Amino acid sequence: MESRIETTELQSVNARSLPLVEVQNVSMRFRMPTEKIDNVKEFFIKLVKGKLKYEDFWVLKNISFEIKRGESVGILGRNGAGKSTLLKMISGIVEPTSGSIRVRGSIVPLLRLGAGFDMNATGKENVFLNGAMLGFGKKEMQKRYDSIVEFSELGKFMNMPLKNYSSGMLTRLGFSIAVDVNPDLLIIDEILAVGDAPFQKKCAAKIEELQRNGTTFLLVSHQASQVKRLCKRALWIKDGEIVMYDDAESVSNAYAIDCNKQ
């Protein structure tokens, strides 16, 4: 089976009129050992002797959908439904087993706390490190630095190593960098649930501002209410398959009803 992930820049009016994200017939398979292996040595002995037995586990099964430029889409689903795996594939971190993914524009993924950070470096150093990873030079990040610090409210902590940051502080810094560089697609996986209530409110307001300016959002959340508030559309995944892809309120309500049945 063939798979393909493609990211292109938005270079023309025609390209900008096309869907920002196209996911076509995407499936993802993990191979799980069928027996318990107690240590690495035992694993490699069985591997060399060809005695390892696997069972295929399909995390995602023939997923297809599109996201238009400027849309805000929430992804709902229980743990293990395949949400985070889908985000990693759209971000280009992992390739699907089959199917194709195309993103026409720049991506900033906020998939987990501390991702892309050097925990031994300071907050200030990490601003420039993250900027470089996103394709911004030192001069450009110097122009953006003050606004990033102001939004994060971490001014007095920017010369402190990140290993001393709380999870909420990491969230503040990661989100502040991401929204300041104005990506075409911002992918957020649950991390907004870590920050305190005032900062969550501030993030929501910033997301709404960026939406008005044309930024596209893909948000994973266990909170149907958060998806309703921040997203116009929602995708519900269950057991690796799409159950529903419609307006956020309809999908969130249907998902909540299904959860209450369990």
> What is the chain's mean pLDDT, rounded?
84
Strands 72-76 and 107-110: unpaired
152 or 189, higher pLDDT: 152
Nearest to 22 by CA among 135, 251, 185: 185
Region 204-210: mean pLDDT is: 84
**What are the two backbone dihedrals, phi and then psi, of residue 11, each rounded to the nearest 5 degrees?**
-110, -10
Examine the pLDDT at 34 and tell me if it is beyond 70: no
The architecture of the domain spanning 3-106+183-261 is: 3-Layer(aba) Sandwich (3.40)
Examine the pLDDT at 4 and tell me if it is beyond 60: no
214 or 48, higher pLDDT: 214
Examine the pLDDT at 199 and tell me if it is beyond 60: yes
Residues 6 or more apart whose CB falls under 8 angstroms from that of 55 comprise 31, 32, 33, 34
Q: How many whole angstroms separate alpha carbon 67 and alpha carbon 87?
A: 13
Q: What percent of the chain has pLDDT over 70?
A: 81
Each residue's pLDDT tens digit, 61-84: 999 999 999 899 999 998 888 898
What does the pLDDT read at residue 179? 87
Examine the pLDDT at 172 and tell me if it is beyond 70: yes
Give residue 241's pLDDT band: very low, low, confident or very high (50, 70, 90).
Answer: very high
What does the pLDDT read at residue 33? 62
Long-range CB pairs of 201-206, under 8 A, 24+ apart, other chains included: 202/151, 203/175, 204/229, 204/230, 206/151, 206/179
Nearest to 81 by CA among 244, 247, 209: 244
Q: How many whole angstroms separate alpha carbon 72 and alpha carbon 207?
A: 9
Give residue 154's pLDDT band: very low, low, confident or very high (50, 70, 90).
Answer: very high
What does the pLDDT read at residue 182? 81
Q: How many whole angstroms separate alpha carbon 101 and alpha carbon 133?
A: 22
What does the pLDDT read at residue 247? 96
**Rg of the chain taking only CA atoms, in angstroms:** 20
143 or 195, higher pLDDT: 143
Cα distance from N-terminal residue to C-terminal residue, the chain: 35
What does the pLDDT read at residue 102? 95
Examine the pLDDT at 254 and tell me if it is beyond 90: yes
